[in-house]
A and B are shown apart, each in its own frame.
Chain A
């Protein structure tokens, strides 16, 4: 299910034409391209000491060097690679898991639905970070542990979202029609329900990438990542551990931190704009203005006319 099918050609033009989306796509594209091409464009080996300790940005080291003398730019590029594929995997897995739980609940209904909803709610209410810390502490550090732990703890909100979406879709006429025609329940779930949830699933997936990047960095910052692997989170961990703050080496934490923040920001921009276009109430304003309707009062949307 692509965006175009969900929103139609007109909305798509609106989407691509809006400034936030363009900004988001450009930032995201640049970060992804830089990470993918790390092997080609990185000036140094990210693990070797190639300069002095905590050197400020210069021509030789555009983003400076770390407390261990490594090149921050090269670490940023390789770190992006390691960070993004893990985050992407987590987003794919949590979205799939949430879909399976939600559609199973919607398909079987009755007690299966009750049990799955209860499990979902329990997972939702238990705070994420402490649970993730305990889980990660008992498993060997590395990307696989990271993916597993964050998938186990990250799917619940999606399951609730998709389930309520599926339940409201189930009330529509076309589902009743499909039932009357005698389609099997699995067919209804797969052919009728699932495609109509496309936009919600897409928005959730984008949010999950943000969640995964931030959660991954948090765990690594706590020291629960694989210390030997370069990621944006482990760069922050080493910066904190080599007291970069009180040595004034701001480049060692600003670069990976901004990389995380910009990735999350660009994704959030895209998501927000999609939401604005999909939500008719938020859109009504702009359409009214384009139609030349001046609002009677700046404050209220009511049709009550006041004397100016």
Chain B
């Protein structure tokens, strides 16, 4: 429990840092972007919203500390102000719409690539020196060199545009999200496959290579010699003795990967016009909608922190050494 409490304290600190950076960024960057923003919108907003915008960017007479405390209170209540490009919708409403889709796409692709990569890595280590082991690393290395959005462009062009196997963007065919019956779920799945496939392909490499190298390390341990010497079948030795141990470093990496994969996912969503957070982020950038951009930064960061904490907890359940208080 001590370990979990320590991790939790760390994530709370990280969240606090992110929130603070978010507060000071528009106030401290050179060139006074806050005034520019307010000036840009001074003609299109009414007096009340303009005052709110000024308050949000510190263009008031309040002392900095007072502003900071107000801001912290707002963040805790989930109030991130109003979106400038979808005025007067609150930022949280814009984000809320995309959040579910991003979670769906993110979870699907991270889990798929983790499972697939670990299996491929285990097979490569098992048949070490075979054709599979020789071929897999360079192919995955090559795919992993693709920026997410470039592979997304390629797959979109080939599978959605040329071949027409998958729909050209969005997360569902109708105007509104479909009902969760068989047809509706099928529709959502059809829209999910192409972007998820993109993310899986790019992120597969590290899982596979890490698993392979961890397996090779584990395979030379004495306890495996013992397991084989006492007459267990090789399959049994591999599955219940080697793979279980070799999986641990991959699970540690899972936490770190969530952040990186999520960054890539944002760009993939843009290419496939998938209505998640990445798509909102692009619209925020092109419309210079700072409140939306900043809220997205915070929401994504907090989600990634939560995912990391979840992986840490999972790790405690899987590795007895951590449970008894040793260092992870």
The closest CB in chain A to the CB of B129 belongs to A285
Cβ B157 vs Cβ A134 within 8 A = no
Residues of chain B in range 139-161 having any CB-CB distance to chain A below 8 Å: 141-142, 144-150, 153-154, 156-157, 161
Query: What are the interface flags for A114-135 relative to B under an 8 Å C-beta threshold, 1 for contact and 0 otherwise?
Result: 0000100110111111110111
For A281, the chain B residues whose CB sits under 8 A away are 216-217, 220
Q: Kindly state whether residue A287 has any CB partner on chain B within 8 Å.
A: no
Cβ A269 vs Cβ B285 within 8 A = no
Between A128, A246, A268, A302, the greatest number of chain B beta carbons within 10 A of the residue's beta carbon is seen for A302
Cβ B150 vs Cβ A253 within 8 A = yes
Q: How many residues of chain B get a CB closer than 8 Å to chain A's CBs? A: 73
With both chains docked as a complex, state the minimum distance between the C-beta of B217 and any C-beta of chain A, in angstroms.
6
Partner of B267 from the list A125, A222, A253 (CB cut-off 8 Å) is A222
Q: Kindly state whether residue B196 has any CB partner on chain A within 8 Å.
A: no
Cβ A253 vs Cβ B225 within 8 A = no
CA distance A250 to B147 in the complex (A): 16
With both chains docked as a complex, state the minimum distance between the C-beta of B150 and any C-beta of chain A, in angstroms.
4
Residues of chain B in range 256-312 having any CB-CB distance to chain A below 8 Å: 256, 259-260, 262-264, 266-267, 270-271, 281-282, 285-286, 288, 290, 293-294, 296-297, 300-301, 304-305, 308
The answer to whether residues A236 and B153 also contact, given A127-B301, A281-B220, A285-B129 and a CB cut-off of 8 A, is yes
Q: How many residues of chain A get a CB closer than 8 Å to chain B's CBs? A: 59
Cβ A125 vs Cβ B237 within 8 A = no
With both chains docked as a complex, state the minimum distance between the C-beta of A254 and any C-beta of chain B, in angstroms.
7
Cβ A223 vs Cβ B286 within 8 A = yes
Cβ B234 vs Cβ A127 within 8 A = no
Between A124, A130, A250, the greatest number of chain B beta carbons within 10 A of the residue's beta carbon is seen for A130
Cβ B228 vs Cβ A304 within 8 A = yes
Q: Kindly state whether residue A224 has any CB partner on chain B within 8 Å.
A: yes
CA distance A248 to B31 in the complex (A): 42
For A246, the chain B residues whose CB sits under 8 A away are 161, 168
Q: Is the interface of A mostly helix, strand, loop or mixed?
A: helix
Q: Kindly state whether residue A137 has any CB partner on chain B within 8 Å.
A: yes
Between A118, A127, A265, A301, the greatest number of chain B beta carbons within 10 A of the residue's beta carbon is seen for A127
CA distance A128 to B301 in the complex (A): 9
Q: Kindly state whether residue B128 has any CB partner on chain A within 8 Å.
A: yes
The answer to whether residues A125 and B308 also contact, given A245-B153, A285-B128, A297-B234 and a CB cut-off of 8 A, is yes
CA distance A245 to B156 in the complex (A): 8
The closest CB in chain B to the CB of A139 belongs to B29
Cβ B224 vs Cβ A302 within 8 A = yes
CA distance A236 to B220 in the complex (A): 47
With both chains docked as a complex, state the minimum distance between the C-beta of B12 and any C-beta of chain A, in angstroms.
11
Q: Which of B13-21, B39-47, B91-99 contacts A (4 or more CB under 8 A)?
A: B13-21
CA distance A118 to B216 in the complex (A): 32
Cβ B10 vs Cβ A121 within 8 A = yes
Between A20, A260, A265, the greatest number of chain B beta carbons within 10 A of the residue's beta carbon is seen for A265
Cβ A133 vs Cβ B297 within 8 A = yes
With both chains docked as a complex, state the minimum distance between the C-beta of A120 and any C-beta of chain B, in angstroms.
11
With both chains docked as a complex, state the minimum distance between the C-beta of B161 and any C-beta of chain A, in angstroms.
6
For B271, the chain A residues whose CB sits under 8 A away are 240
Q: Which of A54-62, A161-169, A210-218 contacts B (4 or more CB under 8 A)?
A: A210-218
The answer to whether residues A268 and B145 also contact, given A121-B10, A139-B29 and a CB cut-off of 8 A, is yes
For B290, the chain A residues whose CB sits under 8 A away are 137-138
Cβ B145 vs Cβ A222 within 8 A = no
Cβ A20 vs Cβ B282 within 8 A = no
Cβ A134 vs Cβ B14 within 8 A = no
Cβ B262 vs Cβ A301 within 8 A = no
CA distance A272 to B260 in the complex (A): 20
For A291, the chain B residues whose CB sits under 8 A away are none
Residues of chain B in range 212-238 having any CB-CB distance to chain A below 8 Å: 213, 216-217, 219-220, 224-225, 228-229, 234, 237-238
Query: What are the interface flags for A91-123 relative to B under an 8 Å C-beta threshold, 1 for contact and 0 otherwise?
Result: 000000000000000000000000000100110
With both chains docked as a complex, state the minimum distance between the C-beta of A136 and any C-beta of chain B, in angstroms.
9
The answer to whether residues A300 and B234 also contact, given A129-B263, A138-B29, A253-B153 and a CB cut-off of 8 A, is yes
Query: What are the interface flags for A241-254 relative to B under an 8 Å C-beta threshold, 1 for contact and 0 otherwise?
Result: 00001101010011
Q: Which 4 pairs from chain A and chain B are nearest by CB? A: A129-B263, A257-B150, A264-B145, A265-B145
29 A-B pairs whose Cβ atoms sit less than 8 Å apart in the complex = A125-B14, A126-B14, A126-B259, A127-B300, A127-B301, A129-B266, A130-B300, A130-B301, A134-B25, A210-B145, A218-B148, A218-B149, A222-B270, A222-B281, A222-B285, A224-B285, A245-B153, A260-B146, A261-B150, A263-B145, A264-B146, A264-B147, A265-B141, A299-B127, A300-B238, A302-B220, A302-B225, A303-B225, A304-B228
Known: A262-B145, A265-B142. 18 other contacts (CB 8 A): A121-B10, A126-B14, A126-B304, A129-B263, A134-B297, A138-B26, A239-B153, A240-B153, A245-B161, A248-B161, A254-B154, A257-B150, A260-B150, A264-B147, A272-B141, A285-B128, A302-B224, A302-B229
